Amino acid sequence: MAKTPYQFSPTELWIQSVLRVPPHPQPPEGSPESTQVFHAGRNYYKLCLLVWFLSHFLVLTALLSLTFIVSKAIPTVPAWAAISVRVIESLAFVAFTVSAVFTFFSQRLNYVLRWYMVTDRSLRIRSGVFNMQELTMTFSNIQEIRVTAGPLQKLLKLADVEVQSAGGGSRRGEGHIGSFKGLSNATDIRDLMVERLRQYRDSGLGESAIPEGSELDHSMEAARAVLAEARALREHLTASR
């Protein structure tokens, strides 16, 4: 089993233990020697931090604006109401600070504990810290593998590899989709999966032959017998005319 190339800080280890997040997933179905492990690119972590910073900046701006507005109205309210408002403000800023620290470290964990595994028969994606999700797909069900990237991802030289499997309708989005997010080598991983998918299909894995003497064979024989009798009856009726 490959280990994550990252040294956890004491705080991250504490958060990981509190949330009971396993350090790594088990490999999916396939030969152990074919297992390859991937992680999101370093710039994906920077992208997550940017989203975290912008969201917390907006929340902090809203809190400061609300505090400013309330401070203007406090002189006009009774003393007990002013004290209550100050207490609520203090609790709000404490909650914001604790949440900011906790979610900051969770961003690091979300980056380093994001696992992508590919074997010769299947793939597995594990992501999430607060709500851990694990998705496994076998090559027998995979229908499409594609690389996607938005403008910001292209700027950071990142891309996603989306894998769509059978199980839904014909329209896009109705099947099951697994996403290898934030990859710095998306094309290489896509090519690896395409090649393994080709080898899987060429090897005939997952295809089950129907043995002789099975129920389907008996049904086919019965259908042939009925067809032969129908032809004989038609020939007899034609000859008697």
pLDDT in tens, 169-200: 445 445 588 999 999 999 999 999 999 999 98
Residue 33 falls within a domain, yes or no?
yes
Residue 151 falls within a domain, yes or no?
yes
* CATH code of the domain in which 20 resides: 2.30.29.30
Residue 227 falls within a domain, yes or no?
no
Residues 6+ apart with CB under 8 A from 52: 103, 104, 107
Domain residues for the domain of 42 are 10-203
Residue 230 falls within a domain, yes or no?
no
> Tokens standing for 60?
């902090």
pTM listed for this prediction: 0.67
> Tokens standing for 9?
């800080």
Residue 170 falls within a domain, yes or no?
yes
User: How many structural domains are present in the chain?
Assistant: 1
C-alpha–C-alpha distance, residues 221 and 218, integer Å: 5
The predicted pLDDT at position 170 comes to: 44
CB-CB contact of 225 with 196 (8 Å): no
C-alpha–C-alpha distance, residues 19 and 45, integer Å: 20
The predicted pLDDT at position 69 comes to: 84
Span 198-223, average pLDDT:
58
Helices (H), the chain: 10-19, 42-73, 79-112, 151-155, 186-203, 215-240
C-alpha–C-alpha distance, residues 32 and 35, integer Å: 5
| Per-residue confidence band for 240, with pLDDT thresholds at 50, 70 and 90 | low
The three-state secondary structure class of 124 is strand
Share of the chain above pLDDT 90, in %: 39
Residue 216 falls within a domain, yes or no?
no
Residue 215 falls within a domain, yes or no?
no
| Per-residue confidence band for 145, with pLDDT thresholds at 50, 70 and 90 | very high
Residue 136 falls within a domain, yes or no?
yes
